[in-house]
Protein backbone atom coordinates (compact mmCIF):
# COMPACT_ATOMS: atom_id res chain seq x y z
CA UNK A 1 0.00 0.00 0.00
CA UNK A 2 1.39 3.38 -1.02
CA UNK A 3 -1.18 5.73 0.47
CA UNK A 4 -4.19 5.22 2.69
CA UNK A 5 -6.39 8.07 3.81
CA UNK A 6 -9.11 7.48 6.38
CA UNK A 7 -11.88 9.89 7.37
CA UNK A 8 -9.67 12.83 6.49
CA UNK A 9 -11.05 16.33 7.12
CA UNK A 10 -9.79 19.85 6.77
CA UNK A 11 -11.65 22.84 8.13
CA UNK A 12 -10.60 26.44 7.74
CA UNK A 13 -11.84 29.06 10.14
CA UNK A 14 -11.97 32.48 8.56
CA UNK A 15 -12.94 35.89 9.85
CA UNK A 16 -13.36 38.44 7.12
CA UNK A 17 -13.57 41.59 9.24
CA UNK A 18 -12.98 42.66 12.84
CA UNK A 19 -16.68 42.47 13.70
CA UNK A 20 -17.76 39.68 11.41
CA UNK A 21 -18.61 36.25 12.67
CA UNK A 22 -16.22 33.34 12.40
CA UNK A 23 -17.00 31.19 9.45
CA UNK A 24 -16.00 27.56 9.08
CA UNK A 25 -15.11 26.32 5.61
CA UNK A 26 -15.22 22.55 5.39
CA UNK A 27 -12.75 22.14 2.53
CA UNK A 28 -12.44 18.36 2.95
CA UNK A 29 -15.03 16.28 4.80
CA UNK A 30 -14.42 12.77 5.99
CA UNK A 31 -12.78 11.35 2.86
CA UNK A 32 -11.27 7.86 2.64
CA UNK A 33 -9.34 6.31 -0.25
CA UNK A 34 -6.28 4.23 -1.07
CA UNK A 35 -3.57 4.33 -3.70
CA UNK A 36 -1.92 1.00 -4.47
CA UNK A 37 1.52 0.35 -5.87
CA UNK A 38 1.83 1.21 -9.57
CA UNK A 39 -1.78 2.44 -9.67
CA UNK A 40 -3.34 5.81 -10.34
CA UNK A 41 -6.28 7.19 -8.44
CA UNK A 42 -8.00 10.11 -10.13
CA UNK A 43 -9.62 12.85 -8.07
CA UNK A 44 -12.20 14.72 -10.07
CA UNK A 45 -14.50 17.54 -9.09
CA UNK A 46 -15.33 21.13 -9.85
CA UNK A 47 -13.19 24.05 -8.75
CA UNK A 48 -13.36 24.48 -4.96
CA UNK A 49 -14.40 20.89 -4.28
CA UNK A 50 -11.31 20.24 -2.14
CA UNK A 51 -8.92 18.47 -4.52
CA UNK A 52 -5.84 20.61 -3.90
CA UNK A 53 -6.52 20.58 -0.17
CA UNK A 54 -6.30 16.79 -0.28
CA UNK A 55 -3.00 17.08 -2.19
CA UNK A 56 -1.61 19.46 0.44
CA UNK A 57 -2.79 17.19 3.26
CA UNK A 58 -1.21 14.09 1.71
CA UNK A 59 2.06 15.97 1.23
CA UNK A 60 1.69 17.10 4.85
CA UNK A 61 2.08 20.72 3.83
CA UNK A 62 -0.96 21.50 5.98
CA UNK A 63 -2.18 19.67 9.10
CA UNK A 64 -5.49 17.79 8.93
CA UNK A 65 -8.42 18.68 11.19
CA UNK A 66 -9.27 15.03 11.58
CA UNK A 67 -8.65 11.56 10.21
CA UNK A 68 -5.60 9.56 9.33
CA UNK A 69 -2.93 9.50 6.60
CA UNK A 70 -0.72 6.43 6.05
CA UNK A 71 2.21 6.53 3.65
CA UNK A 72 4.07 3.35 2.76
CA UNK A 73 2.30 1.56 5.64
CA UNK A 74 3.31 4.15 8.23
CA UNK A 75 0.95 6.49 10.05
CA UNK A 76 2.24 9.97 9.21
CA UNK A 77 -0.80 11.92 10.44
CA UNK A 78 1.01 13.64 13.25
CA UNK A 79 4.66 13.40 12.23
CA UNK A 80 6.61 16.56 12.85
CA UNK A 81 8.19 18.52 10.03
CA UNK A 82 11.67 16.99 10.53
CA UNK A 83 10.23 13.48 10.83
CA UNK A 84 8.39 14.05 7.58
CA UNK A 85 11.66 14.96 5.90
CA UNK A 86 12.61 11.38 5.17
CA UNK A 87 9.47 11.06 3.05
CA UNK A 88 10.14 14.23 1.09
CA UNK A 89 11.95 12.41 -1.67
CA UNK A 90 9.44 9.57 -1.85
CA UNK A 91 6.47 11.83 -2.56
CA UNK A 92 6.71 14.52 -5.18
CA UNK A 93 4.18 16.92 -6.61
CA UNK A 94 3.65 18.17 -10.13
CA UNK A 95 1.52 21.30 -10.28
CA UNK A 96 -0.28 22.98 -13.08
CA UNK A 97 2.43 24.66 -15.14
CA UNK A 98 2.79 28.39 -14.73
CA UNK A 99 5.64 30.68 -15.76
CA UNK A 100 6.77 31.28 -12.20
CA UNK A 101 7.07 27.66 -11.14
CA UNK A 102 10.70 27.24 -12.27
CA UNK A 103 13.41 29.72 -11.29
CA UNK A 104 13.89 31.74 -14.49
CA UNK A 105 17.58 32.31 -13.69
CA UNK A 106 18.46 28.62 -13.52
CA UNK A 107 19.43 26.52 -16.52
CA UNK A 108 17.74 23.21 -17.17
CA UNK A 109 20.98 21.57 -16.02
CA UNK A 110 20.86 23.39 -12.67
CA UNK A 111 17.13 22.81 -12.25
CA UNK A 112 17.54 19.05 -12.61
CA UNK A 113 20.68 18.90 -10.47
CA UNK A 114 18.95 20.71 -7.61
CA UNK A 115 16.82 17.79 -6.31
CA UNK A 116 19.65 15.34 -7.05
CA UNK A 117 21.94 17.32 -4.76
CA UNK A 118 19.38 18.09 -2.05
CA UNK A 119 18.52 14.44 -1.65
CA UNK A 120 21.99 13.07 -2.37
CA UNK A 121 20.73 10.77 -5.09
CA UNK A 122 24.02 10.21 -6.93
CA UNK A 123 27.69 10.94 -6.29
CA UNK A 124 28.93 14.36 -7.41
CA UNK A 125 30.95 12.92 -10.26
CA UNK A 126 27.85 11.12 -11.57
CA UNK A 127 25.66 14.26 -11.62
CA UNK A 128 26.26 15.15 -15.27
CA UNK A 129 25.54 11.69 -16.52
CA UNK A 130 22.40 11.53 -14.37
CA UNK A 131 21.09 14.81 -15.83
CA UNK A 132 21.67 13.42 -19.33
CA UNK A 133 19.79 10.27 -18.44
CA UNK A 134 16.84 12.18 -16.93
CA UNK A 135 16.61 14.52 -19.94
CA UNK A 136 16.35 11.54 -22.22
CA UNK A 137 13.84 9.82 -19.96
CA UNK A 138 11.44 12.79 -20.13
CA UNK A 139 11.97 13.35 -23.86
CA UNK A 140 14.13 16.48 -23.84
CA UNK A 141 17.07 16.81 -26.20
CA UNK A 142 20.64 17.25 -24.85
CA UNK A 143 20.80 20.76 -26.35
CA UNK A 144 17.94 21.89 -24.10
CA UNK A 145 20.20 21.37 -21.11
CA UNK A 146 21.87 24.78 -21.22
CA UNK A 147 18.70 26.79 -21.79
CA UNK A 148 16.63 28.83 -19.35
CA UNK A 149 12.91 28.12 -18.72
CA UNK A 150 12.02 31.28 -20.66
CA UNK A 151 13.63 29.84 -23.78
CA UNK A 152 11.47 26.73 -23.68
CA UNK A 153 7.80 25.98 -24.36
CA UNK A 154 5.24 25.21 -21.66
CA UNK A 155 5.34 21.53 -22.57
CA UNK A 156 9.15 21.42 -22.36
CA UNK A 157 9.05 23.16 -18.99
CA UNK A 158 6.50 20.65 -17.74
CA UNK A 159 8.95 17.92 -18.78
CA UNK A 160 11.63 19.60 -16.62
CA UNK A 161 9.23 19.60 -13.68
CA UNK A 162 8.58 15.90 -14.28
CA UNK A 163 12.34 15.23 -14.49
CA UNK A 164 12.78 16.94 -11.11
CA UNK A 165 9.99 14.83 -9.62
CA UNK A 166 11.39 11.50 -10.81
CA UNK A 167 15.01 12.54 -10.06
CA UNK A 168 14.52 11.69 -6.36
CA UNK A 169 13.28 8.16 -7.17
CA UNK A 170 9.84 9.14 -5.88
CA UNK A 171 7.33 6.33 -5.44
CA UNK A 172 4.20 8.47 -5.24
CA UNK A 173 3.64 11.53 -7.39
CA UNK A 174 0.75 13.85 -6.68
CA UNK A 175 -0.24 15.45 -9.97
CA UNK A 176 -2.44 18.52 -9.39
CA UNK A 177 -3.91 19.55 -12.75
CA UNK A 178 -0.56 18.79 -14.47
CA UNK A 179 -1.75 19.54 -18.00
CA UNK A 180 -4.56 22.04 -17.48
CA UNK A 181 -2.48 25.03 -18.59
CA UNK A 182 -1.10 23.37 -21.72
CA UNK A 183 -2.39 23.34 -25.29
CA UNK A 184 -4.57 20.33 -26.00
CA UNK A 185 -2.03 18.86 -28.46
CA UNK A 186 0.73 19.08 -25.84
CA UNK A 187 -1.53 17.71 -23.08
CA UNK A 188 -1.66 14.30 -24.74
CA UNK A 189 2.12 14.10 -25.05
CA UNK A 190 2.65 14.93 -21.38
CA UNK A 191 -0.04 12.48 -20.26
CA UNK A 192 1.54 9.73 -22.35
CA UNK A 193 4.93 10.55 -20.84
CA UNK A 194 3.42 10.19 -17.35
CA UNK A 195 1.89 6.84 -18.32
CA UNK A 196 5.22 5.57 -19.70
CA UNK A 197 7.12 6.71 -16.58
CA UNK A 198 4.56 5.04 -14.35
CA UNK A 199 5.33 1.70 -15.97
CA UNK A 200 9.11 2.23 -16.27
CA UNK A 201 9.56 3.42 -12.70
CA UNK A 202 6.72 1.58 -10.99
CA UNK A 203 5.15 4.88 -9.88
CA UNK A 204 1.81 5.55 -8.24
CA UNK A 205 -0.16 8.70 -8.97
CA UNK A 206 -2.74 10.64 -7.04
CA UNK A 207 -4.00 12.37 -10.13
CA UNK A 208 -6.08 15.51 -9.78
CA UNK A 209 -8.05 16.97 -12.64
CA UNK A 210 -11.33 18.71 -13.36
CA UNK A 211 -11.30 16.95 -16.76
CA UNK A 212 -12.93 13.54 -16.87
CA UNK A 213 -11.34 12.73 -20.24
CA UNK A 214 -7.91 13.14 -18.67
CA UNK A 215 -8.78 10.98 -15.66
CA UNK A 216 -10.29 8.28 -17.89
CA UNK A 217 -7.04 8.17 -19.88
CA UNK A 218 -4.79 8.06 -16.83
CA UNK A 219 -6.38 6.28 -13.90
CA UNK A 220 -7.43 2.78 -12.91
CA UNK A 221 -9.75 4.14 -10.26
CA UNK A 222 -11.59 7.37 -9.70
CA UNK A 223 -12.94 9.37 -6.78
CA UNK A 224 -15.59 11.96 -7.56
CA UNK A 225 -15.58 14.98 -5.26
CA UNK A 226 -18.27 17.49 -4.51
CA UNK A 227 -18.21 20.13 -1.77
CA UNK A 228 -15.29 18.50 0.03
CA UNK A 229 -16.76 15.01 -0.02
CA UNK A 230 -16.09 11.94 -2.10
CA UNK A 231 -19.51 11.13 -3.51
CA UNK A 232 -18.42 8.16 -5.62
CA UNK A 233 -15.33 5.96 -5.64
CA UNK A 234 -14.44 2.92 -7.68
CA UNK A 235 -12.81 1.31 -10.67
CA UNK A 236 -12.79 3.92 -13.49
CA UNK A 237 -14.44 1.61 -16.01
CA UNK A 238 -17.22 0.66 -13.60
CA UNK A 239 -17.89 4.20 -12.42
CA UNK A 240 -18.07 5.51 -16.00
CA UNK A 241 -20.30 2.67 -17.16
CA UNK A 242 -22.54 2.56 -14.14
CA UNK A 243 -22.43 5.89 -12.30
CA UNK A 244 -24.45 5.97 -9.09
CA UNK A 245 -24.38 9.64 -8.19
CA UNK A 246 -26.23 12.38 -10.07
CA UNK A 247 -23.12 14.55 -10.18
CA UNK A 248 -21.08 11.74 -11.75
CA UNK A 249 -23.79 11.27 -14.37
CA UNK A 250 -23.61 14.97 -15.20
CA UNK A 251 -19.82 14.81 -15.59
CA UNK A 252 -20.14 11.87 -17.96
CA UNK A 253 -22.87 13.51 -20.04
CA UNK A 254 -20.65 16.56 -20.44
CA UNK A 255 -17.92 14.59 -22.23
CA UNK A 256 -20.16 12.46 -24.46
P1 LIG B 1 -9.98 22.58 -5.67
O2 LIG B 1 -8.53 22.24 -5.74
O3 LIG B 1 -10.88 21.38 -5.85
O4 LIG B 1 -10.36 23.66 -6.63
P5 LIG B 1 -9.38 23.58 -3.01
O6 LIG B 1 -8.92 22.38 -2.27
O7 LIG B 1 -8.34 24.52 -3.50
O8 LIG B 1 -10.33 23.12 -4.22
O9 LIG B 1 -10.39 24.41 -2.08
C10 LIG B 1 -11.45 23.79 -1.37
C11 LIG B 1 -12.17 24.85 -0.54
O12 LIG B 1 -11.33 25.25 0.54
C13 LIG B 1 -12.53 26.12 -1.28
O14 LIG B 1 -13.78 26.57 -0.81
C15 LIG B 1 -11.43 27.06 -0.92
O16 LIG B 1 -11.87 28.39 -0.98
C17 LIG B 1 -11.14 26.65 0.53
N18 LIG B 1 -9.74 26.92 0.93
C19 LIG B 1 -8.63 26.38 0.39
N20 LIG B 1 -7.53 26.83 1.03
C21 LIG B 1 -7.95 27.69 1.98
C22 LIG B 1 -7.29 28.49 2.98
N23 LIG B 1 -5.97 28.49 3.12
N24 LIG B 1 -8.08 29.24 3.80
C25 LIG B 1 -9.41 29.24 3.68
N26 LIG B 1 -10.10 28.52 2.78
C27 LIG B 1 -9.38 27.75 1.94
MG1 LIG C 1 -7.01 22.93 -7.10
Neighbours of 188 (CB within 10 A): 14
In contact, 178 and 94? CB cutoff 8 Å: yes
pLDDT number for residue 126: 98
Read off the pLDDT of residues 29-83 as tens digits, 9 standing for 90 and up: 999 999 999 999 999 999 999 999 999 999 999 999 999 999 999 999 988 888 8
Nearest ligand 1 atom to the CA of 47 is 4
How far, in Å, is the centroid of ligand 2 from the Cα of 143?
34
Would you say the pTM of this structure is higher than 0.85?
Answer: yes
How far, in Å, is the centroid of ligand 1 from the Cα of 20?
20
Quick one: which of 167, 207, 161, 170 has its CA closest to 90?
A: 170
Question: Ligand 1, atom 27: nearest CA belongs to which residue?
Answer: 12
β-strand pairing of 66-71 with 40-44: unpaired
> What's the rounded Cα separation, in Å, for the pair 72 and 66?
20
> What's the rounded Cα separation, in Å, for the pair 54 and 59?
9
Ligand 1 contact, 52 CB (< 6 A): yes
Sheet-wide strand order for 3-14: 23-35, 3-14, 66-71, 74-75
Residues of the chain with pLDDT under 50: none
Amino acid sequence: MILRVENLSKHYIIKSGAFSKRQVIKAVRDVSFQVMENQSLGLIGESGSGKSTIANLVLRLIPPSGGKIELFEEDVTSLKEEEMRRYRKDIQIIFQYTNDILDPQMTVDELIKEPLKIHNIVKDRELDQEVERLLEQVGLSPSERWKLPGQLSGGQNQRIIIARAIATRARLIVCDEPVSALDVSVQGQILNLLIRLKEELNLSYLFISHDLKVIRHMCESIAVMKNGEIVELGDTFEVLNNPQHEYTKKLIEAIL
